[in-house]
Structure 1
Amino acid sequence: MKTTWLAAAATAAVLVPASAQLVAAQDYEFSLYSGWQTAPHSRVEGDYPGTGEDFDALIGWDGKSFEMPPYYGVRGTWWKTDRLGFGVEFTHTKVYAPDDEKAEIGFEDLEFTDGLNIVTANAMYRWPDRWESFTPYVGGGVGVSVPHVDVDTTTGIDTYELQYGGPAMRLMAGASYDLSERVALFGEYQFTYSANDVELEGDGDLQTNIKTNAVNFGLTLKF
């Protein structure tokens, strides 16, 4: 969990300077969400720690959204007009390799569970009050993956640290419902894609491109 908070703190360092300007504009929204996140199969390949031998396998990731640490995200949006907005977003996604699949390639642990953390700069578009009190929106962003690498080999070489993974992107579509002038509820579908190239202790490495699908529900505060 400590590394999760380090990732969140790093994101906050980006958000805070921007948010000071955005709040002054009186068009800023802060959103917090969680939900059900999954990840389809992806290929994992690289050099096995300590031996340099190649490994290559198709992994059917588990998301385990509601197990600790849980899946969640935070988003800040500056609406420059009634319809067009820009912002930043941090999502703590996670993936676990099933026991039988990781064992086949010589790993006791193979997961990004203190976060396959995705940080992006977003563009958003909405249709205010399109459906009476509901406001539909779409958005997308580009940024980076900052995974917490949790990989243990059957030979006792372990990697447990936060690393830069590679480029990332996200797409989303949803709708919000105003409870008041300052508070809204929202639901959305969100997709992320990240290219992850990480180092393993013992002169090893691992590469995998991970996609996630999530159904999010959250709360928005307006300033």
Structure 2
Amino acid sequence: MKKLRTLFAAVAVILAAPATAEVELSFYMGAQTSPHSRLTGSADFGGVPTAIDRLITWEGKSFEAPPYYGVKAMYWRESGWGYGVEMTHAKAYASSADLTALGFDRLEFTDGHNILTANLSRRWDGQWWNGRLSPFVTGGLGVAIPHVDAQPTGEARTFGYQVTGPAARIGAGIAMELTTKWSAYAEYQMTYSSNKFDLDSGGSLETNLLTNALNIGVTYGF
């Protein structure tokens, strides 16, 4: 507990310290994958609850509509510390083999496996290439708000947004200054989310999803 209190006090000092501030708005796209994860719970078939426990192979399909993307807003201090919010519109499709094994027509989070987090970041301004390249790291905690699209064969289709559990992200990258207002950046980012969602046909399912992504983005600062 003493170590946690010390950490929280240090973060408070960093964020409260008087310094020149900068606000940045960013948009990014990229290539995103989701490793396999175990799906557990139950689904009703003809009104009969059926237990489910299977390792699912997920597909990201980053560039198929709707595409993978993200947006974020950051408030940076002269100290190099910043905080803000970020939303990532990731995707996860169960493979056709898994759908057949489960007896489902659909099982996907494809109008967004949306990860919303509050972020704390650190960057090192102007480290390389005549001061134009700046490395950074970021981390965040928040919630998963996926658009659940699931349908056991012959049963009602679940189709809508649900708040399914806690989420987190970590990332690291490098930004390149283009003008005094605009910059571009590349980063690796990983998200984690714990997801428990209800089925309109009866039952509920649960899985922990990871995503790995290589992002390319643009930023406007003011």
- Which interval holds the TM-score relative to the shorter structure? 0.7 to 0.9
Shift of 1:100: 1.2
Larger strand percent:
2
Query: In 1, are the aligned partners of 2:185 and 2:218 still within 8 Å (CA)?
Result: yes
Q: Which amino acid aligns with 1:83?
A: G
Shift of 1:46: 1.1
Query: Is 1:209 aligned with 2:208?
Result: yes
Q: Name the counterpart of 1:32.
A: 27
Residues 156-194 of structure 1: CA distance to partner in whole angstroms, max 9, x if unpaired? 221001000100000010000000010000000000000
Aligned partners of 2:212, 2:23: CA distance in 1, in Å? 26
Query: In 2, are the aligned partners of 1:61 and 1:95 still within 8 Å (CA)?
Result: yes
SS class of match (1:68) = coil
User: Comparing 198-207 with 171-180, which one deviates more in the overlay?
Assistant: 198-207
Q: Which amino acid aligns with 1:181?
A: T
Aligned partners of 1:51, 1:27: CA distance in 2, in Å? 57
Q: Which amino acid aligns with 1:33?
A: Y
Q: Which amino acid aligns with 2:183?
A: A
SS class of match (1:218) = strand
Q: Name the counterpart of 1:14.
A: none
> Structure 2 regions of 5+ residues with no counterpart?
1-19
Aligned partners of 1:68, 1:81: CA distance in 2, in Å? 39
In the alignment, which of 72, 81, 84 is matched to residue 84 of structure 1? 81
In the alignment, which of 40, 43, 47 is matched to residue 45 of structure 1? 40
Following superposition, which runs of at least 4 residues in structure 1 exceed 4 angstroms of deviation? none
Say how many residue pairs are matched. Answer: 199
Q: Name the counterpart of 1:67.
A: 64
Q: Please tell me whether Structure 1 or Structure 2 has the larger radius of gyration of its CA atoms.
A: 2
> Structure 1 regions of 5+ residues with no counterpart?
1-24
Q: Name the counterpart of 2:155.
A: 156
Q: Name the counterpart of 1:54.
A: 51
Shift of 1:26: 5.3
Q: Please report the TM-score for the alignment, with normalisation by the length of structure 2.
A: 0.87
Query: In 1, are the aligned partners of 2:21 and 2:78 still within 8 Å (CA)?
Result: no
SS class of match (1:219) = strand
Q: Which amino acid aligns with 1:136?
A: P
Q: Please report the TM-score for the alignment, with normalisation by the length of structure 1.
A: 0.87
Aligned-residue RMSD, C-alpha = 1.0
SS class of match (1:101) = helix
Aligned partners of 1:43, 1:121: CA distance in 2, in Å? 27
Identity rate, percent: 46
Matches for 1:96-135 after TM superposition, within 5 Å: 96-132=93-129, 133-135=132-134
Shift of 1:152: 1.1
